[in-house]
Amino acid sequence: MFAKVDGDKFTGFIVERGTEGFTQGPEENKMGIKGSSTVQLYFQDCKVPVENVLGEIGKGHRIAFNILNIGRLKLCAAAIGGARMALNLSVEYAKTREQFKQPISNFGAIKHKLAEMAIRLFVAESSLYRTAKWIDEKEHELLAEGKSFAEALLGGAEEYAIECAALKVYGSEVLDYIVDEGVQIHGGNGYSAEYNISRAYRDSRINRIYEGTNEINRLLTLDMTLKRAMGGRLDLMGPAMAVQKELMSIPDFGAEEEQLFSKELKLVANLKKAILMTAGAAVQKLMMKIENEQEVLMNIADMAIETFNAESVLLRVMKIVEQKGEAASGYQLDIMRTYLYDAADKVNKSGKDAVNAFAEGDEQRMILMGLKRFTKAEPLNSKDARRRLADKMVGEGKYCF
């Protein structure tokens, strides 16, 4: 629990069942996660021993915030586990359920659903693994500097708090997407409590609410970034001004040497420019009023989350190709290229929504032209890519990437 000592010192405590003045209400009847205990907690003149203080008096915020950071990372991991199970249930059902004398897994509409579920799951894994590795490396770095285990744990999580917030949003929304499409694949049976997919559907919904709602985490993604920029930990305006300068120059359409992943790397770099351009213009135009423009902040957060995911899946697939070779990595290449193809459009849409909310006239036209330039993706036959992914899963009977 957390409470204020002397009215202003925010502090963490361990409060044990049976403590004088501490009682609990009855179990609540919830829509999902019925295996989890949820009760109201009541404190009436509750006496907590001084040895039950967690950390230091007045330093409870460090514990609270960093518990949330690690909790958001773990929530993404838990969501990925649930999403994998729900996808496997859907693959198995699509293989066995027949319509018009054939399994529904033969139909293009079902193939599209299964493949998109797999793409989003693979991307969520990629961003999670990447961030977890960064946190682990930061913890070891802090330990080597002489920090205690607790200080290293808190420091590693704080360093990547922005990524943890983004992971919480994307992981929970991937799970929601997969269980929702899973119910759709099951058809009427998906609405029956006799099928596990209906339980997964009910259980998944809480993930967008606890550990900070997804709306709050989207706002935090930008809030923490701007605070780090204002505090000198992060240079945001320098790169943003460089992108604005680039917009005023004539693009170089000279022939580039074609190498594996050169187009994908360029696209990710351009998506970052789209974010810098949009965020920089918003900060310049709105100044201190930007914190009240939650819609704009969430648009920019969505641009950042999509771009972080795009870069994460690209880096993961580059490593897979390096290890296995291009020919043996075809399915992973399909996943990465399809996600990047779609991410470019999503970044463009979120960027336009943000820009149209704060800019007008020549400024608006210039930024929108920049968005179009920075979110241009190579043509891709995503239908065939998704069919290859779906056919592979149906053959294996499970998510297998």
Show which residues are catalytic: 211
313, 278 contact by CB (below 8 A): no
3-state DSSP: the chain helix, strand, coil percent, rounded to 5?
70, 5, 25
Residue 251 exposure: Cα atoms within 13 Å on the Cβ side:
9
**DSSP assignments along 12-53, one per residue:** EE---TT-TTEEE-PPP--SS-TTS----EEESS----GGGE
CA dihedral 212, 213, 219, 222 (to 10 degrees): 60
CA pair distance 29, 33, nearest whole angstrom: 10
Cβ count near 103 (within 10 Å): 15
CA pair distance 155, 396, nearest whole angstrom: 42
Record the tokens describing residue 55, joined without a space: 């950390």
Compute the residue count for the chain: 401
Q: Packing angle between helix 294-324 and helix 108-144, nearest 10 degrees?
A: 90
